[in-house]
Amino acid sequence: MTDVVFGYDVEDVYNPTSDDALLEICRIHVEEGVPASMFVAAEKARCMRERGRKDVLDALARRDVIEIAYHGNYWGDFPEPATKYGAEMPFDQAVEFALSVESKGLHDVAEITGQFPVTWCCHQAQQSLPQQYAMKLAGVRCWAGGPRGWIMNWLSWPRSNCVVSSQGSSSMEYDPLKPDEEKPAAHPETDLRKTQADFEARLATTDFVSFVGHPVCWVTREWGGLWEYATLFRYGSAGAYPRPRISAPSQPRTPRDTQAALEHLRNLLRWLKTRDDVNLTNYASLCERDEEVGQRWVTWEQLVSLTRRMTQTLDAIEDFGTSFSPADVTGMLIFAVQYCHAHNRWPAQIPVQRVLGPVEEPMDQPDGVTADRRSIFAGCKAAYAIMMDDRRLPGKLRASRVDVGPAELLHLAARLVLDFEDTGELPETVTTGPLQQLPGVIDTPTITDRRFGSTNMPPDFSHEPLWELLRWQSWSYRPAVAQR
């Protein structure tokens, strides 16, 4: 069964007719009973309210079919692209900046539409892990655009690499020397055959498909403002005043063309409803299926089992009705070792604390390390304090007499647990050889299929800091395990 979500980027603030298109799309989904997820930019929501479009906002309030997602505070004139500040600021500073920009927009969307957004998806490829973590902290349930599973303890589904267009033959291209030339009306039957072929091709490579559309594309040929991006972001961030407002005139589609495009959408929904291998759903339903209870514990025996497997292969593990990231298992080991030092016994139950991976380059000791028992206990106590302060694993740590990264800390703590389990005694010293520093998932499409590109970056902008942070957060990645 393939999960299929219809998502619409509700973002264009400069073409009033895009409000009419959004209203018609909502009506079609309600009439056909097919869920739709509306990715609403706060700037667009504020604009619809200013225009007095209560009819559109009422249509968005149909919770039985329409859910609200978040598409950023600003569509055009946002102060600093998340891709840029996410690459240039320290992690915590970037998270704080993201919250200062996005939390206001998030609550505007909730107030105006009457629904708190269930998921977040970036606009114009403006994304970075600090921004994504900020959205989690702000209370958004999941991420539409990440790896399928959990990362940074946030449930996510892909988007960019599993997309099929719901717009049919929509095109943004036109001849500027012939601005009044009409676009021929769309052919719903031809568009449906093309979309069906695209859908079948996606099914061959993925078990999740995101149909993506932009309401403005049902009513305009020229996406007003798209051409102004190069001017607005000529420095990578919005330029000095006078700044251009993105207000280029738009070339409308003919009423006949628009109706044909809407007919294609209705035909597409009806065709999908006939398939028994498709689950037409939305992000709220996906969360209900895959979200987990916040409080979870493992037994000592389960921790020993997880530890043996994690030290053999650094990667996520599925077991005991859930999954565990390398950061999860390392965090449980840190808890167990510091508990042993504080209480002179091993814990019978260990809390699962879903911590982040490191947000700084993990220290690598390529020749391995040797640490005495005192250093291991001291290191785990220090790491536990960092976990409680920052909800993450340290990238590097002074463990009393030795410096370690997360891989070394995992193996040192594991050796205390496993040696005690095997012999009943704690080792005096532990020596590790060269260790795998990053989980194996970094070499799979789960990580490699992500993207950070954007048209809004300055020339010669390096995306490497964004990729580094994603690779480090592979420590926090784990697959989703259905709970219902």
Cα–Cα distances in Å, from 50 out to 21, 57, 112, 245, 375?
Answer: 18, 12, 11, 18, 62
CATH 3.20.20.370 intervals, the chain:
2-290
Give the pLDDT confidence of 135-155 residue by residue, as tens digits.
Answer: 999 999 999 989 999 999 999
Cα angle 396, 401, 404 (rounded to 5 degrees) comes to 25
- Distance between CA atoms of 75 and 73, rounded to whole angstroms? 7
Amino acid making up residue 186: A
Q: Which of 146-160, 205-219, 338-352 has the highest mean pLDDT?
A: 338-352
Neighbours of 111 (CB within 10 A): 14
**Rounded percentage of the chain residues whose pLDDT exceeds 70:** 94
- Cα–Cα distance for residue pair 279/351, rounded to 1 Å: 35
Could you tell me which residues come within 8 angstroms of residue 126 by beta carbon, excluding any fewer than 6 positions away?
A: 72, 78, 81, 82, 83, 454, 456
Cα separation, 472 vs 484, whole angstroms: 31
Which tokens hold the place of 1? 């069964």
Cis status, amide bond into 366, omega within 30 of 0: no
Span 453-468, mean pLDDT?
A: 84
Question: Under a CB-based contact definition with an 8 Å cutoff, are residues 323 and 316 in contact?
Answer: yes
pLDDT at 10 > cutoff 80: yes
Amino acid identity, position 473: Q
pLDDT for res 245: 55
Whether residue 120 contacts residue 135, with contact meaning beta carbons closer than 8 Å, is answered with yes
Average pLDDT over residues 21-42: 97
Percentage above 90 pLDDT, the chain: 76
- Mean pLDDT, residues 367-377 taken together: 95
**Res. 457 pLDDT band, cuts 50 70 90:** confident
Q: What is the pLDDT of residue 248?
A: 58
Q: What is the per-residue pLDDT for 126? A: 78
Confidence of residue 223 (pLDDT cuts 50, 70, 90): low
Amino acid letter at 225?
G
- What CATH number was assigned to the domain covering residues 2-290? 3.20.20.370
In DSSP terms, 151 is beta-bridged to 154
- SS3 for the chain is CEEEEEEEEECCCCCCHHHHHHHHHHHHHHHHCCCEEEEECHHHHHHHHHCCCHHHHHHHCCCCCEEEEECCCCCCCCCCCHHHHHHHCCHHHHHHHHHHHHHHHHHHHHHHHCCCCCEECCCCCCCCHHHHHHHHHCCCCEEECCCCEEECCEEEECCCCCEEECCCCCCCCCCCCCCCCCCCCCCHHHHHHHHHHHHHHHHCCCCEEEEEECHHHHCECCCCCHHHHHHHCCCCCCCCCCCCCCCCCCCECCHHHHHHHHHHHHHHHHHHHCCCCEEEECHHHHHHHHCCCCCCEEEHHHHHHHHHHHHHCCCCEEECCEEECHHHHHHHHHHHHHHHHHHCCCCCEEECCCCECCCCCCCCCCCCCEEEHHHHHHHHHHHHHHHHHHCECCCCEEECCEEECHHHHHHHHHHHHHHHHHHCCCCCEEECCCCCCCCHHHHCHHHHCCCCCCCCCCCCCCCHHHHHHHHHHHHHCECCCCCC
The average pLDDT across 168-187 equals 79
How much is the average pLDDT of 408-432?
Answer: 96
Global model pTM greater than 0.85: yes
Cα 35 from Cα 29, distance rounded (Å): 7
Four-residue CA torsion sign, 142, 316, 446, 75:
positive
Q: Note the pLDDT tens digit of each residue in 281-319.
A: 999 999 999 999 888 999 999 999 999 999 999 999 999
63, pLDDT greater than 60: yes
Dist CA 165 CA 341 (whole Å): 57
